[in-house]
Structure 1
Amino acid sequence: MIRTFTTSITRRLPVLNHVRLYRALAIESSCDDSCIALLERTKPNQPPTIIDHAKKTLHSADVGGIMPTAAYTYHMATIANMCRDFCHKHGISATSPPDLICVTRGPGMAGSLSSSTEFAKGLSVAWNVPLVGVHHMLGHLLTSFLPQSSQQPHANPPQFPFLSLLCSGGHTLLVLSKSISEHEIIINVSDIAVGDSLDKCARELGMYGNMLGRELETFINNIPQIEKDEFEAMNVDTRIGNKYKFRLTLPYQTPKNGKFNEGGIQFAFAQFLSNIQEYKKKFYISDRSSGEFDEKTKRMIAYKTQEFVFDHIIDRINLALKTHGLRKSTADGKLVGVRDFVCSGGVAANKRLREKLFRDLKFDEIGPDPFKFHFPDLSLCTDNAIMIGLAGMEIFEKLQLKTDLSFTPLRKWPLDELTTVDSWTNVDEDEVNRVCKY
């Protein structure tokens, strides 16, 4: 039996003195979340109002992770009914359609993407409204443009050019964004994404749940402070440096692989799982008949692993700041003018990562002015349709592009190739004005 987790957010709209506005219906299903959102924009160059957002998530903990075929079946059984109920709730129909449809085109799992892209095409034809196929990571990147309802209620949105750490279960990138359409990947990942690594490490430690990275964070947060202090002071450079014989190092630190590789500066997270597996096999289970970690050892491994995963992210970004900054003679000036730093994606919800970024990033490498940090609301860090609607509205208005109905989902779609893929269609000024009733 398929079990789901359902969430819904509804926000009351302010009373408006005019009716010159437009609404966008957005759909997201790139992985295991079926998401729908309705956004409304009343003024150009202002963030839209979030009217409502709904999400249902495939329960995959019992099978050890997300299975693409199960996710495809789940979305096929969920999206249409979910959209019908959502539209009925908000009075959306063929006689009162939204003005724009936005749907995730990629990157993601092909089956999951196709379930919503084909449905969105049908809505576009039936309602005779334009459709925008949105890049999933662009959605994450733009979430900080939305008003902060909790942590930073008065913060201004980032200004181009800005840097973004996009960290999720499927991607880990440091991106320099010069505009809505111009994105340069400063650091890519060479193996698996940080969220995937944390999930697998948590599973190897015996944790259970639909979002294992969050389970790991909660587990670590509940460690007594006296133990955290002990683990923090523990030297794991060598196995003989601690009573647990546990060794852990940052990737790309040895002379053999160096700080750079052929692809430039990169992240790497696969070794954190293999490190736990090797330790369990060679240095732990061989001494214990049960084959399971005792509770304190489990807490130590969890704490040190999460710390080193995030330290690796900090180390790589600091190297990029030094390489591309302004103050060093070796700098190429690539980051001239950058004064904002965004962290978004599912892993960006981890409070320890936010603390370490704020504390340990060496922004003095790029110039004397203080940096402004932007962290989206926790509810918008994980996959959602709100970000897809926002990105689609920006593409339609700022780039004057929509997507031809012949488009197909893109399992891989580099962010620096946002507008070079097929099926983009130019939108003339008349259509923009007809949709955006400003």
Structure 2
Amino acid sequence: MLPIQRLAAGVRARPVALHGPRRPRLPSSLPSHLRPLPHPRLLLTLAIETSCDDTSVAVLEKTTCASTHRTVAKLHFHKTITANNAAFKGVHPLVTLESHQENLAKLVAEAIEHLPLSKLGKAVDSLELSDVELGRDIHHEVSFTHSIYRRQLPDLISVTRGPGMRSNLSTGLDTAKGLAVAWGKPLQAVHHMQAHALTPRLADALETYEPTMPLTTRWWEYPISVEPDFPFLSVLASGGHTLLVHSASLTDHEVMGSTSDIAIGECLDKIARIVLPEDVLRKAGNIMYGALLESFAFPPQETTEEGPTKPKFGLEKSTATEYRGKYAARYTYNVPKNHEEALKRNVSKWGWGFNQPLCRAQGGLKSKSMEMSFSGLMTAVERVVKYELDPRSHKLTQIERPPEGISTEERKDLAHHAMRAAFEHLAGRVVLGLQHSPSTTVVMAGGVAANSYLRYIVACTLCAHGYDSVKIVFPPPSLCCDNAAMIAWAGVEMYENGARDDLDIRAVRKWPLGKLLSPPLDKTSESTPPTESAS
């Protein structure tokens, strides 16, 4: 009988504990090549993200290169399913919740199959034994070759706790709790916006990884070494948030500015639904209208040049001057010299124009504040599309325009000018942030950060204000939107920093980034539970 057969036949079954079946105890006579290492060579996490309409699960391995002592990471699994909200032209709470309930368990099951093989699992594969030769799993009537016992269990379970839609967050959080209890692993709750801010560090670790590089067996002796290093200025721009954050350390994030009404991503999505032709919207097949608005205004350029394949997790990090020069041929944009010039030049050839939000508020004083606003821009675009323009006064009338009265060329200009006004507004706040808290690095993260026109305007604005040498860091577009990979990385960083979460935590709908370590309780948590009266 082969050693592995004796092992499978000789393991005793234990009583099933309340939290589920345990792994079989391996006998001390196990061959050396099957014994686990006294110290792990890596830190492994399974992560779940369900804050909005994306159901995402990832398996991330973090370790350290033995020769350079640089932190590296590898994604064993990463998959996202987005709820189909096309019929509602926006995120529908019930549809997204049902999508999480339908898809999360399937994604977790698929992720488990991609966990790294354990020592025992590798031995089974190398011996190529059949299920009959291995015997049956001692706890379940399933084949050993498909058992979780042959997989290396994660060291922790990472999950988004907030901010986001509470029901959606709870779906992911409850699933993560179940995995943590079943496997006896710690639970690591993650702040969604902190994860976005750390995404460039994840991309740097992923880009550095090479399958053949030597890995240290004592990774815990080396602190995480990735770029960008703290401190840096973060611009977190998405469909639900627009924040200007000074990230001094992993847990110290000062919110310097935020939007007073809607987020920039929501603004662009609504402008897209107003401006884009109906046939373009119908062909979209999704609700990523902001990205559709960009491609409509700036159609992707076809190129026949053959060059090196861009890495999947390529992290763009260059100075403002370098980035401006790289994309100067694609965009025509000049930074206004002063406030007066900005107000004059915004009139288009069609007679209408869009100014930066808040540029006229309080006599222009708010243009020097950290406050941001995007609802007014959305309303201005809506009025231009809806009403005729007086050719003499260049003011809107009360005469409604028929949809066919707006040409495709004018619609493209509407998309272009609306994005320009929104992005100038955001870029101006980046300059104010650097003046308030000097930094050598600006991180652009969140779904809107994938917009190339935004990146170009930020680079040009920094150059115009003397910040030519400031490094701008952009995560790859695949990691800009909500995803479980960023949750996995944030969970690993927080875990190594000593953070731990109890199993009684609940989802947090509104969680200020400045209160990262002390999330606020919701109203139901703050109220005193009723006491039972004695009968």
Distance 1:118 1:149, change over 3 A: closer
Match of residue 72 from structure 1: 97
Distance 1:379 1:149, change over 3 A: farther
**1:41 to partner: Cα distance:** 1.7
Q: Superposed, which structure 2 residues align to 1:155-194 within 5 Å? A: 157-194=227-264
Q: Superposed, which structure 2 residues align to 1:69-148 within 5 Å? A: 69-90=94-115, 95=149, 96-148=152-204
| Alignment partner of 2:440 out of 334, 339, 343 | 339
Give % identity.
Answer: 35
Q: Retained in 1: the 8 A contact 2:205–2:226?
A: no
Q: Retained in 1: the 8 A contact 2:273–2:289?
A: yes
User: Deviations 1:346-404 (Å, cap 9, x if unpaired)?
Assistant: 111111111121221259668xx932221111111111111001001111111x11111
Distance 1:160 1:71, change over 3 A: same
> Alignment partner of 1:403: what SS?
coil
Match of residue 411 from structure 1: 509
**1:205 to partner: Cα distance:** 1.3
**1:91 to partner: Cα distance:** 6.1
Q: Retained in 1: the 8 A contact 2:112–2:148?
A: no
Q: Does 2:353 match 1:297?
A: no
| Alignment partner of 2:488 out of 355, 374, 389 | 389
Letter paired with 1:314: A
Match of residue 87 from structure 2: 62
Q: Does 2:471 match 1:358?
A: no
Match of residue 222 from structure 1: 299
Q: Does 2:518 match 1:420?
A: yes
Match of residue 280 from structure 1: 385
Deviates more, 1:306-315 or 1:36-45: 36-45
TM-score, normalization by structure 1: 0.80
**1:292 to partner: Cα distance:** 5.4
Aligned-partner Cα distance in 2 for 1:223–1:377: 17
Aligned-partner Cα distance in 1 for 2:238–2:227: 21
Letter paired with 2:297: I
Q: Does 2:47 match 1:30?
A: no
Aligned-partner Cα distance in 2 for 1:357–1:229: 14
Q: Does 2:470 match 1:377?
A: no
Aligned-partner Cα distance in 2 for 1:46–1:239: 48
Aligned-partner Cα distance in 1 for 2:187–2:88: 35
Unaligned runs of 5+ in 2: 1-36, 118-146, 210-224, 302-327, 390-397, 522-535
**1:271 to partner: Cα distance:** 1.4
Distance 1:79 1:241, change over 3 A: closer
Unaligned runs of 5+ in 1: 1-15, 325-333, 424-438
**1:97 to partner: Cα distance:** 2.1
User: Deviations 1:74-99 (Å, cap 9, x if unpaired)?
Assistant: 10111011211221243686534211
Letter paired with 1:318: V
Match of residue 62 from structure 2: 41
| Alignment partner of 1:349 out of 450, 464, 478 | 450
Q: Does 2:348 match 1:250?
A: no
Aligned-partner Cα distance in 2 for 1:295–1:236: 26
Distance 1:231 1:186, change over 3 A: closer
Distance 1:94 1:407, change over 3 A: farther
Aligned-partner Cα distance in 2 for 1:160–1:363: 25
Letter paired with 1:101: I
> Alignment partner of 2:388: what SS?
helix
**1:186 to partner: Cα distance:** 1.2
**1:108 to partner: Cα distance:** 0.8
Distance 1:81 1:364, change over 3 A: same
Q: Retained in 1: the 8 A contact 2:76–2:115?
A: no
Distance 1:172 1:299, change over 3 A: same
Letter paired with 1:354: R
Q: Retained in 2: the 8 A contact 1:363–1:371?
A: no
- Number of equivalent positions: 390
Match of residue 428 from structure 1: none
Match of residue 216 from structure 2: none
> Alignment partner of 1:283: what SS?
strand
| Alignment partner of 2:370 out of 265, 286, 296 | 265
| Alignment partner of 1:197 out of 256, 261, 267 | 267
Q: Retained in 1: the 8 A contact 2:233–2:434?
A: no
Q: Retained in 1: the 8 A contact 2:74–2:206?
A: no
Match of residue 500 from structure 2: 402
Q: Retained in 1: the 8 A contact 2:346–2:354?
A: no
**1:236 to partner: Cα distance:** 9.4
